[in-house]
Structure 1
């Protein structure tokens, strides 16, 4: 009689429904990143709500910097506390509520309401904190669900269907909610649902409530069907005290886990660059080419299609080539795509080649510069999914099972510890140079240094030395 299959963490594996529901949580959360932080709301915040693309990029950079600093401080502590209390879902629920409230309030970013810039920046920070803290506990569930050999596929599948979810959310906005300022009709020729007024950018602003509603509905399968580890009875104050003590011990022992420490530093560096190019690529396009919601949305749909394909492909590559090689290949693609993107202005490509700027009667992406920018974006999309999915799997392969939550707290820290630095530097460089392009050169440094730091990392379960 065969022994029952065990998960990477040593317990029973989840049912197919439990695994799918866990991966489906990526479908639930991805529209936040697709609609708000990447393609629609962030460019609107810069060019529409603030009204000055350069100043808007600077302020959005400071918003992301504030959120990143808070996440960097809180994530490892929360991971350590969760190791004391056991169950992850109660924490997931609490931070989900914070995200839902913060994202919903983005509706109030009406054009011309300059007095509410601080309020909108504040709720954007709250939404980011709720989402990123929830992901600490979500990611830590992965090794409890499947055997080690299947983690790459499940992680890649989650990222893949997440991108598909983001793609569908974009399609809904463009096809049914976002009307053209000229015709008043959506991309599919309909009058916008809910009577959203394109002149008041109501579709841009509705992306916040839509992402919150989407998250609420599609996170339910994970809460209902995915198994959680048993809760431990522990008073909240004692859990905090034990978590702080465990966190101190983790940092003290981290030099004994040098391989994990090096991976976390590498991931901290390249993830900062990856997050920045996704966060500011749409803002740069809006300022450089004058793209508005429909063009940005189509750009987002194309990138999401390639990102979904890249994530699915990366999941199989992860299980066959290993997480480290998959990440290195993905980082190479990200560097090339970012280099191409920052080489482009409205009338130049590859830094020095002059091209005709976009004409008023050009079709969508009709100018040479826009075509090059689209190609760079596709390369970034193809590479971004595998880089993120394989990073999550890599830590699950490296971390000792008994310290999984703890190390995933540090994993979240490695994704956010310097994430406030890249947006801050982008904001400062943008302000100093007086144009958007200069700020994006920061991204290349983070990606390249992260790749170099990853080279000596070994793919093996960590043991103290």
Structure 2
């Protein structure tokens, strides 16, 4: 039977937080190994779903960029819907059972398997497309659930005063891992960038250009990366103790607890306000990250090389920013750290809104990019990069401090369930900003409208955060 809701609510009281504050953190090896999970998993998002494999899939595998973008969007939306629907229940079941590592192990294996299937994504081999789609769905579901269960380990590893620092270190390692993976992909696919001249028709390591092996190898290589670098977390990070109950009893208790939480959600009004705010400002963040590269490709004609270098630059900026953001989180509180990050992203978005092919800051005339000009030689491109600095300074701390705030607001016995709801709130409406951008772009016939819509989402999330009360810490 699910624990009494009032008892569980009281577990998140200020007194409980103060009691936990006196406990010693886990060993440095345990905490570093937990943070290595982000290093192991971030390359999936960097090189597969954002900068390299996604454009390859839409433009080359499908062959029609419009049809490819539509199929990619439906695939990611379908997997995100499955994650959103299941996350609160799996999180609550894990709370009832205690242990998180068995869940993590299963989903990390599933992630590696899904990534390995992407090797089959070859143009002209549409009979293999169902297996590629299956790989994308499995990998996306597994990646999101893995993050949820890894997040649920965070509160037990560090004292409340320093939990923001640990979260920031994890995000920083994740960006570093993504940066190295992205740089490696660029070297393998285009070794000419670093002065290496492979034989005609080949990329680095003998990969064949005509069959796009350099792009297809990204999937299996990501699977190997995950399998190798997630090992420290399994070996050295302590799990929560198990309940000793049979799985069916644990599952029944977890499912019952989700429905009990929904019925008594008013008792968690503070956390609910945060989750609604997160849902809105996270939509804006996801939209500007996705929109930024598309906008640059549209007005400057950027291709894979420029977008890849842009992704590297964004990650270079984000690494120190998110680590510093973790320190700021512990100093001023998670809520204020999130709000500072929103302001940074909003300023970067406003800057992007001001740029066209021949203008910056709305009114300053600049020369458009000349045909055959060098990389990032136009003034508009350079100003775009300055705006990207503001995005990079804010995007990591916004996500890291949000993760920390869930740990600080959740009742300890329900942390898995609320990280599940956190995952749900981050996915439930991620279609909304892109949908509004698509409608508005069609209506006004300009890409710039996207940045204006993003600003509305960021502003609304910022305002809603004012009513969230963060627990007082020693």
In structure 1, the residue matched to 2:29 is: 17
SS in 1 for 2:196: coil
State the Cα distance separating 1:355 from its structure 2 match: 3.9
Which residue among 350, 356, 367 is the counterpart of 1:339?
350
Q: 1:136 aligns with which of 142, 145, 148?
A: 148
User: Which residue matches 2:245?
Assistant: 234
Q: 2:117 aligns to what?
A: 105
**SS in structure 2 at match of 1:257:** helix
Structure 1 residue 80 corresponds to structure 2 residue 87: no
State the partner residue of 1:303.
Answer: 314
Q: Is 1:43 paired with 2:42?
A: no
The question of 1:68 aligning with 2:80 is answered yes
Structure 2 counterpart of 1:330: 341
- CA separation of 1:188/1:322 partners in 2, compared to 1, >3 Å: closer, same or farther? farther
2:177 maps to 165
Cα distance between partner residues in 1 of 2:393 and 2:433: 22
User: How much is the aligned-residue C-alpha RMSD, in angstroms?
Assistant: 2.7
Unaligned runs of at least 5 residues, structure 2: 1-17
Seen in structure 2, the aligned counterparts of structure 1 residues 199 and 363 have a Cα distance that, compared at 3 Å, is: farther
Distance 2:194 2:239 in 1: 42
Q: Is the 8 A contact 1:178 1:186 kept in 2?
A: no
- Give the structure 1 partner of residue 194 of structure 2: 187
Deviations 1:257-298 (A, max 9, x none): 211110011111111221232234334434443333322221
Aligned position for 1:391: 402
Summarize the Cα distance change of 1:251–1:53 in structure 2 as closer, same or farther, 3 Å threshold. same
Instruction: Give the corresponding residue for 1:406.
Output: 417
Unaligned runs of 5+ in 1: 1-5
Shift of 1:314: 0.2
Which is further off, 393-402 or 19-28?
393-402
Aligned 1:422-461 pairs, distance under 5 A: 422-426=433-437, 438=449, 441-460=452-471
Whole-Å Cα distance in 2 between the matches of residues 56 and 347 of structure 1?
A: 30
- The aligned counterpart of 1:250 is 261
* Distance change (3 Å), C-alpha of 1:372 and 1:422: same
Deviation string, structure 1 residues 145-198 (Cα, Å, up to 9, x no partner): 1111110111111111111111111222223x1127xxxx34342533332234
Map of 2:8 onto structure 1:
none
Q: Quote the Cα distance in structure 2 between the aligned partners of 1:92 and 1:364.
A: 42
How far 1:124 sits from its partner (Å)? 2.1
TM-score (norm 1): 0.88
SS of 2:48's partner is: helix
Residue of structure 2 in register with 1:3 after alignment:
none
Shift of 1:453: 1.0
Determine if the alignment matches structure 1 residue 31 to structure 2 residue 43: yes
- Relative to structure 1, the CA distance from residue 384 to residue 75 in structure 2 (aligned partners, 3 Å threshold; closer, same or farther) is same
CA distance in 2, matches of 1:116, 1:281: 31
2:163 is the counterpart of 1:151:
yes
- For the 8 Å contact 2:172–2:320, the answer to whether it is kept is yes
Q: Is the 8 A contact 1:47 1:286 kept in 2?
A: no
Contact 2:21–2:161, Cα closer than 8 Å, also in 1: no
Which residue, out of 279, 283, 286, partners 1:272?
283
- How far residue 401 of structure 1 moved from its aligned partner, in angstroms, is 1.4
Query: Distance between the aligned counterparts of 2:445 and 2:135, measured in 1?
Result: 27
- Separation (CA, whole Å) in 2 of partners of 1:434 and 1:101: 41
